[in-house]
Structure 1
Amino acid sequence: MSVRVAPFGRTAGGEPVAAVSFEGGGLRATVLAYGATLARLEAPDRGGRLADVVLGFERLEAYEASPAHVGGVVGRWANRIAGARFVLDGRERRLAANEGANQLHGGPVGFDRRVWQRSALPGGEPGAAFELESADGDQGFPGTLRCRAVYRVEGERTLSLVLEARTDAPTPVGLTQHAYWNLGGAGAGPVLDHELEIAADRYLAVDAQHLLVGGLRDVAGTPFDFRTPKPVGRDLDLAHPDLAPVGGYDHPFALRGGEGPLREVARLAHPPSGRAFALSTTAPSLQLYGGQLLARGPGKAGFAHGPHAGLCLEPQRFPDAPNRPDLGPAILRPGELYRWETRWRFA
C-alpha cells in the first residue's frame, strides 16, 4: 500500500493542482485536487491484467475545457434544477444558469471546476482526502457550505468515496461522483456491450431539455427495465417515447430502499475482459447516462472520447428535488450533516 503526491499543472487562474495516487487491494487510483476528480482507476481483468477503467485526460487544460464533468465531484446540486430557481422557506432563490434557463451540476463554476484543498487521512491508509468551502451566494445558493471528499481502498478490490457537508444556513445539497466507466479499458470501444443491472422498479422520464416529465413510471415492459442484467445498447433502437428526447439514456432510477442505508443497487460487467463491479450507495436515485453526447476528442493513452465511449452511473438525490418535494429530501440545515457514500467492489 502506498500514497504518492505529484503536481498536475496549474489552472488557467494560476492555482496549483496536485494529483494523489494510491494503491491497495488490487486497485490503483489517482485523484486530482481539481474537482476531487477520479482521474485514473486501474482494475484487473480475469487474468489479473490491470487497465484504466475511467475516462479522463492527460492534461489539466483538457479537464478545464471539457463540458462533460469528467470524473469530478459535482455540486452543490447534482443534475438539473429547472428554471435555475427554487423556493426555500417562503423565499425564491435565483441560481446561476448554465444549461439554457436551467442549472446543471451546481452551475457554471460547480464543485468539479474548483480546486479542492488536500487534507490528511489517518494512519497513512491508501486514499485521498480533500476539502472545499463554498461561500454564501456561490452560484446563487444560500449559506456557506463546507465539504469533504474521502476516497479509500476498502478491503480487496473495493474503492469507496464518502462525501460530507455542513452549512450555516438552509441550502439544497445533493452531491455525486461523475466518472465515465469503460471496463474494457483504453481503446476498448463503445460501452454498449457492457451488461448492466439496476435494482429499481421505477424511473423518471425527461424532455429534450433533460427536465423531469411527470412522476415515477414502472420500468416493466420498457427499455428502462434493468432488473436483470442486459447489454446497455440492447434496447436503444426501440421506438420508445422516453428514449427519444435525449437520444438514449439520461434518466434517474428510483432505487429500492430509499435514502440512507448502504446497499448494493447496481452491477456493471464487461464480458470480454471479465471486469465487473457491484455498486453500493446510500443515495435514493441512480442517474444512468449512456454517454451519447460525449464530444469526440483525445483522452488518456490515445483513447479517443466520443459517443458511448463511457457511461455514467451517478448515485444522487433526485433531479429538481428542491422544486419537487414529492421526490424526497433536498435541504440541509444548520446542525445537520449531509453524508453520501458509494462503494465500487470489483470482481
Structure 2
Amino acid sequence: MNVLKRCIYGISIVSLASMNIQCKGDKKVEETKLEATATDSVSIAKSEFGKTAKGEQVDLYTLKNQKGMEVNIMTYGGIITSLKVPNKAGVSEEVVIGFSNLEQYTKDNPYFGALIGRYGNRIAKGKFTLDGKEYTLAANNGKNALHGGPEGFHRKVWTVEEAKSGANATLKLKYVSKDLEEGYPGNLTVFVTYTLNNDNSLDVLYEATTDKKTIVNLTQHSYFNLSGDFTKTILDDEVVIDADKLVPVDADLIPTGKLTDVTNTPFDFRKPRVIGKDIEAKDDQLIKGKGYDHCWVLNNQDKGDRFAASAYDPTSGRLLEVYTDQPGIQLYTGNFLDGTLPMRNGGTYAHRTGLCLETQHYPDSPNQKDFPSTVLSPGENYKTKTTFKFSVK
C-alpha cells in the first residue's frame, strides 16, 4: 500500500519513488493512505499497470483535481493513457486516444500519449553533424529518423523522482539516455514534470543536461478528440495557430529549408478555421502530408511562454488552449489512423479521430543552418514548458 507520512506540526515533502518523507523541524509523523486531505485541491494515486517483456514494473499514476479533470500517466514512455475533462454540461469524458492495457502500448503504435525524445519529428537520412563529426541515427521512417528512433523515449521505463499532493498534483519523471543510444551522442539526463492544476490545466516541464554536445527536441504526443466520442472524427474542430509562417516539407516530410507565408493558403489558422474545410484541398503540402502533418513557425518567439494554438469542439463545447515557449508547433490530424488499433472499450480508432498539437523545434533543425539551434552542450540546461489548458464555451 502506498503511504504518505504526514507531519502533524509541519509541511511534508512526499517522494513516491522512495516514500522517504522529510518534515520541517523533525516533528512527529504518522502514516495515512496517499490521498487528498480536506485542504487539498488535487490528489495522486498509484497502481500497478503491468510488466514489460523485460520484466520491468510499470506503474500508473492518477492525478485528479476538484474541477472534474483527471489524468493518468504511466512510467512506460511517460505516456498519458487517459485524460478526462468536463464538457459544457459538466460531464467529464475521455478526450485522448489510448489503450486499455500495457501490452498494446508496447506493440507498434503511432506514439499514443507518449513522451518523445531525444529528437521529436524527423531528421533527414538519419544523419547530422556536430563539430565536424557525423552521427548516424536509427532510421525508422523510411530512410529518415523519426521521434528518437524505434527505441526512443516512448519505449523506456521512466523512474518517478518525486510526486506530491497539495495545491497542485506533480509527477516528476526521470530517464538517463546513455551515450550513443539510438545513435545520439552524450549521456543525457532528462526530467519531465507533469503538473495538474486546479484550473484544468496540465503543465509539462522538460529539462535535460548532457556530458557531451548533443541535440535535444522533446515533445508530448497525445491525440486529442475533444468530442469525447472516438467514433467521430476531429474534422469539425475549429483550430487556431498563432503563426504567420509554415515549415514546408518535401515528399519525405523533410523541411525544404525555406519558411513560407500562410496567407491565402489552407495553413492560415490565425483565425478559427475548421480542420475539415480544406484538408482535402489539392494543395501540394496537404498532398505530401496526406492532410495536416506540418510544423508552424510560432509568432512572438522572443516573448517566451505565450499562446500558441487552440482547438474547439462545438458539440461538446470543450476548448483546448496550448501555451509554450517553443518556436514551433506540429499539427497532426491522425491521417495514418486506419481502423486497426483497438479502442479501450471496443471498436477501433478510425481515420482522423484524433489530433496532435506537438510543441517543438522545427523538424530536421540539426541539418538546417537557418533554423533555431537544438544543440545542447555540457554545462547548459535544456528547459522548456508547455501548458495544455481545458475549458468550455
TM-score (norm 2): 0.86
Inter-partner Cα distance in structure 1 for 2:57 and 2:236: 39
Q: Which amino acid aligns with 2:366?
A: P
Does the CA-based 8 Å contact 2:164-2:171 persist in structure 1?
no
SS in 1 for 2:138: coil
Cα distance change of structure 1 residues 115 and 316 upon mapping to structure 2, 3 Å threshold: same
Q: Which amino acid aligns with 1:7?
A: E
**Aligned-pair CA distance for 1:121:** 2.7
Match runs of 1:77-88 below 5 Å: 77-88=119-130
Deviations 1:154-179 (A, max 9, x none): 34111111111110110000000000
Inter-partner Cα distance in structure 2 for 1:73 and 1:325: 26
Aligned to 2:36: none
Q: Does 1:262 align with 2:297?
A: no
Aligned to 2:43: 2
Aligned to 2:56: 15
Match runs of 1:55-70 below 5 Å: 55-70=97-112
**Aligned-pair CA distance for 1:207:** 2.5
Match runs of 1:322-341 below 5 Å: 322-341=366-385
Consecutive aligned runs of 4 or more in structure 1 exceeding 3 Å deviation: 122-125
Match runs of 1:175-324 below 5 Å: 175-258=218-301, 261-296=304-339, 297-302=341-346, 304-324=348-368
Deviations 1:268-324 (A, max 9, x none): 100001011211011100001110101322122335212101011100011000111
Deviations 1:45-80 (A, max 9, x none): 011100111101001111111330110010000000
Does the CA-based 8 Å contact 1:25-1:153 persist in structure 2?
no
Inter-partner Cα distance in structure 2 for 1:302 and 1:67: 17
Q: Which amino acid aligns with 2:58?
A: V
**Aligned-pair CA distance for 1:2:** 1.2
Aligned to 2:13: none
Inter-partner Cα distance in structure 2 for 1:8 and 1:282: 33
**Aligned-pair CA distance for 1:259:** 6.6
Aligned to 1:117: 159
SS in 2 for 1:184: coil
SS in 2 for 1:55: coil
Does the CA-based 8 Å contact 1:260-1:283 persist in structure 2?
no
Inter-partner Cα distance in structure 2 for 1:127 and 1:329: 30
Q: Which runs of 5+ in 2 are unaligned?
A: 1-41
Inter-partner Cα distance in structure 2 for 1:330 and 1:141: 13
Aligned to 2:174: 131
Does the CA-based 8 Å contact 1:187-1:303 persist in structure 2?
no
Range with greater deviation from structure 2 (290-299 or 85-94): 290-299
**Aligned-pair CA distance for 1:260:** 6.7
Range with greater deviation from structure 2 (334-343 or 293-302): 293-302
Q: Does 1:41 align with 2:83?
A: yes
User: Cα RMSD (Å) of the superposition?
Assistant: 1.4
Deviations 1:191-249 (A, max 9, x none): 00111000000001222322112410000011100000011111012211111112111
Inter-partner Cα distance in structure 2 for 1:273 and 1:108: 36
Inter-partner Cα distance in structure 1 for 2:347 and 2:213: 43
SS in 2 for 1:243: helix
Q: Does 1:151 align with 2:194?
A: yes
Tell me the matched-pair count.
347
SS in 2 for 1:7: strand
TM-score (norm 1): 0.97
Q: Which amino acid aligns with 1:197?
A: V
Match runs of 1:160-171 below 5 Å: 160-171=203-214
Tell me: higher relative CO, structure 1 or 2? Use CA pairs within 8 A at least 6 residues apart.
1
Inter-partner Cα distance in structure 2 for 1:315 and 1:20: 24
Aligned to 2:149: 107
Does the CA-based 8 Å contact 2:257-2:368 persist in structure 1?
no
Cα distance change of structure 1 residues 214 and 333 upon mapping to structure 2, 3 Å threshold: closer
Does the CA-based 8 Å contact 2:280-2:286 persist in structure 1?
no
SS in 2 for 1:6: strand
SS in 1 for 2:366: helix
Q: Which runs of 5+ in 1 are unaligned?
A: none
Q: Which amino acid aligns with 1:10?
A: K
Inter-partner Cα distance in structure 2 for 1:213 and 1:121: 43
Using the aligned pairs only, state the percent identity. 38
SS in 1 for 2:182: helix
Matching residue within 7, 24, 38 for 2:65: 24
SS in 2 for 1:302: coil
Inter-partner Cα distance in structure 1 for 2:171 and 2:60: 9
Inter-partner Cα distance in structure 1 for 2:147 and 2:57: 24
Inter-partner Cα distance in structure 2 for 1:214 and 1:119: 39
Inter-partner Cα distance in structure 1 for 2:153 and 2:385: 17
Q: Which is higher, the Rg of structure 1 or of structure 2?
A: 2
Inter-partner Cα distance in structure 1 for 2:200 and 2:131: 44
Does the CA-based 8 Å contact 2:44-2:164 persist in structure 1?
no
SS in 2 for 1:325: coil
Q: Which amino acid aligns with 2:308?
A: V
Does the CA-based 8 Å contact 2:187-2:212 persist in structure 1?
yes
